[in-house]
Amino acid sequence: MRYRAIGFAAILVIASFILVFGQAAPAGQAPAGGQTDGQRGQRTFTTNGNGGLVDAPAQGQGGQRGGQRGQRGGPAVPAPPAPRGPDGRVVLNQPLGQPGLWIGGITNLSNPDGTPLKVPYQPWAQGVAQDRRQNQLEPHTRCKPSGGPRQFLTPYGVEFVELPDLKRILILDIGGPHTFRIIHMDGRPHPKDYPPDYYGHNVGRWEGDTLIVDSVGYNEKFWFDRGTFPHSEKLHMVEKFTRLDMNNMRYEVTVDDPMVYTAPWTGQFMVRYVPGDELFEYICQENNFASELMVGVMSSVDRTSPIVP
């Protein structure tokens, strides 16, 4: 009888534990504590400037993310309007005295509705793209700068610095080698003898609230995305940065490289503004085991983590 009572008490304890801690959230709702996993409940993740994941609303029509979530399950609060300068034009950098970073996170170029691109590869280039997807020997993980879209596809973010007096815009990159990119805003043409480098030669202009950047002069020592799209030194990119509101910017790029593709093509993704984050010291070369891990010198590598360079 005593053992039967003990067994009955144990069952009650286990049942209580399951009721308190084991209830799953209904579909479309966040689990207790506001935490979510991956795509559960139609939620997506972006990342903050310290390499951690940030819960973000799912993309809506045209790729734009929503505003901030309302309290206690209420409707989303629309994002504040984009900040503007004295001339009335949208500014890409953060408001004075309010730190923040732009983060593309873990994504890649797609169509405006989020569907995969159909890129017009030349046959040899499609083979290179497949090899990159299988082996993932990306130069960015070995501390090389990455021009074009890849500059924004890191967990650490970038900061825009507009310098009207110098007629330049700087894009400061935290991840990788902690480099910066210069966009010339004085109307100069591309030089005819520009030595190829990682960020190319960039000239920009404003069309309304959209910054348009035309760039050439790239070397072949980097990937301009996460590995799907090869390029040559003939690469010519036209990027469009459109700040839709305080928290969202649409990035669009047209790629023209006759050595690699049979025709120009265009893709886009959204970039999220994370207020409060600031640039921090990031020494990519310090304690970097990427080379040994990727070529198999070390015993193993775990690719399951969503936090990638």
**Residue that wins the pLDDT comparison between 188 and 59:** 188
Number of structural domains (the chain) is: 1
Closest listed residue to residue 90, CA positions, set 274, 253, 241, 214: 241
* Residue 62 domain flag: no
Mean pLDDT of the chain: 77
* Residue 12 domain flag: no
Q: Hey, what amino acid is at 276?
A: G
Answer whether 45's CB lies under 8 Å from 57's CB: no
* Residue 7 domain flag: no
Q: What pLDDT is attached to residue 158?
A: 92
153-198 per-position pLDDT tens digit: 887 889 999 999 999 999 998 876 778 999 999 999 999 999 999 9
109-133 per-position pLDDT tens digit: 999 999 999 999 999 999 999 998 8
Answer whether 58's CB lies under 8 Å from 51's CB: no
Lowest mean pLDDT among 11-20, 110-119, 209-218, 248-257: 11-20
* Residue 76 domain flag: no
Q: Is the pLDDT of residue 54 over 90?
A: no
Say which residue the tokens 């983590």 belong to. Answer: 305
Percent of the chain surpassing pLDDT 90: 50
Closest listed residue to residue 41, CA positions, set 69, 77, 78: 69
Q: Could you tell me the pTM of the whole model? A: 0.73
pLDDT interval class at 291 (50, 70, 90): low
Q: Which domain holds residue 262?
A: 100-295
* Residue 307 domain flag: no
Tell me which H or E stretch contains 295. Answer: helix 290-295
* Residue 261 domain flag: yes
Q: What is the C-alpha to C-alpha distance for residues 293 and 300, in angstroms, rounded to an integer? A: 7
* Residue 164 domain flag: yes
* Residue 43 domain flag: no
CA 75, distance to chain mean position in Å, is 26
Bridge partner residues of 272 (DSSP): 103, 248
